[in-house]
Amino acid sequence: MILRGRAIVYGDDVSTDQIIPGKYLKLTEEEAATHALEGLDPTFVTRVRRGDLLVGGKNFGTGSSREYAASALRICGIAAVIAPFFARIFFRNAINQGLAVFECAGARTIREGDELEVDVAAGTVRDLTQGTTLTSTKLPPHILELIEAGGLIPWLERRLAATR
């Protein structure tokens, strides 16, 4: 799987309270997504394009277990999140939502608007604008399977269908 897209870059410790604050939790997933990252960058939802790659600093997704933080980014069209490392609940939520997440130590070198190409199997992030290649951790096969299926629920559906 190769993901190619434009980088939208934020800093360290982007929290779930910034991605989707509590006041939007009562909304549906789709409604909540229209407010994604509003507290950090009110322009995000208007400028994000399908296939964009979100690049964060360390500890991306820190805070709450609210899955809307991951689903909002997916619904907005984000194809993957790239960060030096993630808060663990967000990391797992993202995978369950079919949102690819890549731990990439060199993520901070990526600049806003850079064209990126992620080779999921090889575990590399190429910054085509800068002409650099960064290493990311490879996701194990069973995690890749979940992401490729579109998340845990479609994956479970497929598995249940196969056994019935």
Partner 1 sequence: MTVPRARRPSEDEVEHPVAREGLARPSVGNGATVAEKILARKSGRDHVAPGEIVWCDVDLAMVHDSSGPRRLGPMLERLGATIWDPSKVVIATDHFVPPNDQTEVEIARVTREFARDRGVAKYHEAEGICHIVPLERGYVIPGTLFVGADSHSTTAGVMGAFAVPVGVTEMLGVFVTGQIWLKVPETTRIEWTGPLAEGCMAKDMVLTVLGEIGDDGATYQELEYGGDAVYALPFDERIVLTNMAIEHGAKTGIIPPDELVFGLVRGRGRDTAAYPDPDAIYARVLRHRADELAPRVALPGAPDNVADAAEAKGERIDQAYIGACTGAKYTDLAAVARVVRGRRVAPGVRFLIAPASKDVMRRAAESGVLATLLGAGATLLPTGCGACAGLGHGVLGAGERCISSTNRNYPGRMGHALAQVFLGSPLTVAASAVTGTVTDPRELLA
Binding mask 92-131 for partner 1 (x = CB under 8 A): xx--xx----------------------------------
C-alpha 159/C-alpha 35 separation (Å) is 34
Report, in angstroms and rounded to the nearest whole number, the Rg of the chain calculated over CA atoms. 15
A 10 A CB-CB count for 131 gives 7
Q: Is 87 in the site for partner 1 (CB under 8 A)?
A: yes
Q: Which stretch binds partner 1 (CB under 8 A): 46-54, 86-94, 108-116, 127-135?
A: 86-94
| Shortest separation between residue 64's beta carbon and partner 1, angstroms | 5
* 125 CB-contact burial (10 Å; exposed 0-12 / middle 13-18 / buried 19+): buried
Q: Supply 142's token pair.
A: 């069973």
* Residues facing residue 5 across a β-bridge: 116
CA distance 80 to 139: 13
18 binds partner 1 (CB under 8 A): yes
Is 22 near partner 1 (CB under 8 A)?
Answer: yes
Smallest separation, CB 4 to partner 1 (Å): 27
- Bridge-based pairing of strands 80-83 and 53-55 is parallel
Query: Which one of residues 36, 48, 55, 70 is an interface residue with partner 1 (CB under 8 A)?
Result: 70
Asked if 6 is part of the footprint of partner 1 (rule: CB under 8 A), the reply reads no
Q: Which residues bind partner 1 (CB under 8 A)?
A: 13, 15-18, 21-23, 25-27, 38-40, 58-59, 62-67, 70, 85, 87-89, 92-93, 96-97, 151-153, 156-157, 160
